[in-house]
Each structure stands twice: as C-alpha cells, then as structure tokens.
Amino acid sequence: MREVARYHFDTREKLFAEAMTYSFAQTGTDTEGVPDSVSFSVVLARILRSMLPTDAELRQDWKRWQELWVRAQRDAAARHLAVDLNDQLHAWVGGAVERGVRSGEFAACDAAALGTLVPALCDGFGIRLMLEDRRVDLATARETIWRAIAPTLGIDPRFPEV
C-alpha cells in the first residue's frame, strides 16, 4: 500500500500561501526547456498565454490570485506573498525579453519596463475576462497586449501561433 504524505498547516492563511506558491510554480511550465529552434517571440507569447485565464485550470489560478489580492489589502503576510510572486512574474517576463534582445530577435529595449508592463496589462485584461465582460474576449486581450509591446521589441504586431 502506498503511503500518502499529509501536511498540517497552522492556519488557513499558511495553507492558502502554500497553495498559491504551488500554483505559481506550475504556471508556464511549457516555457521551460524550450528548444533553441523556438523563437523568443513564441516563448514570450507562451508566457503571455500563461498569464491570462485561457483555460479552466488558469481560470482557477486566477480565482486564487484574486483572493490573494483581496487578502493582501488586510494581511501583511499575504501582501508580502503577492509582492514576491509579482516580482517573480516581472523577472520571468523581463528575462525572456533580455534573452530575445541578446539573441538579436528583439530590438534593444528596457526589459525591466516590459517586465512590469506585460503583467499589468495581463492583470487588467484578465480581470475583464474573469468577469465575462462582453466587450473583451481572449483573442482581443492577447492581440491588444501583443500590439502594445511589439513596437518596443521590433517584432511583428500579430500574435504568433503558439
């Protein structure tokens, strides 16, 4: 018989923090270990896709993020977790941009600024998608974000096939 690991958390907040951390660690696993033949535009598009509620699993992640944002307004530990996870998103996007610039695929640009802009745009559009705002669909959100960053990166403004 297989032994099942059991964990005990002192508080619901610690359980929630662990669930958020685990969920975040699973985000974007399709961008890891990408072959060199895959363009940095496609890598960045996959990151962007992972940051929007594009499927049922990501919609669940988005619900957890929304809960984290609410908790962060009243709880210092949740606020620190939210800031830390956002710092990791910033580094994830900025790192992909930096690699694309180094490869020559992207124009020289401020990767840190894009590391801030992309998550902010994804958050804004993601909220509207979660609310099922009839004026915003997933394709519109993706394409609008891509068109906003493409000139800075010096790439095609059409969202790539991923």
Residue 127, token pair as written in the block: 């909220």
Half-sphere exposure (Cβ direction) of 1: Cα atoms closer than 13 Å: 3
| Nearest Cα residue to 103 out of 50, 27, 47, 34 | 34
Provide the pLDDT for residue 35: 63
Provide the pLDDT for residue 31: 57
41-55 per-position pLDDT tens digit: 999 999 999 999 999
Tell me the whole-structure pTM to 2 decimals.
0.85
Sign of the dihedral through C-alpha 16, 125, 160, 89:
negative
Angle (CA) 135-44-70 rounded to 5° is 55
Is pLDDT larger for residue 2 or for residue 38? 38
CA-to-CA separations, 67 to 11, 16, 57, 98, in angstroms, rounded: 16, 9, 16, 31
d(CA 151, CA 69): 31
Q: How confident is the model at residue 8 (pLDDT cuts 50, 70, 90)?
A: low
d(CA 25, CA 20): 8
83-102 per-position pLDDT tens digit: 999 999 999 999 999 999 99
Query: Rounded to the nearest 10 degrees, how much is the dihedral formed by the CA atoms of 151, 156, 159, 162?
Result: -130
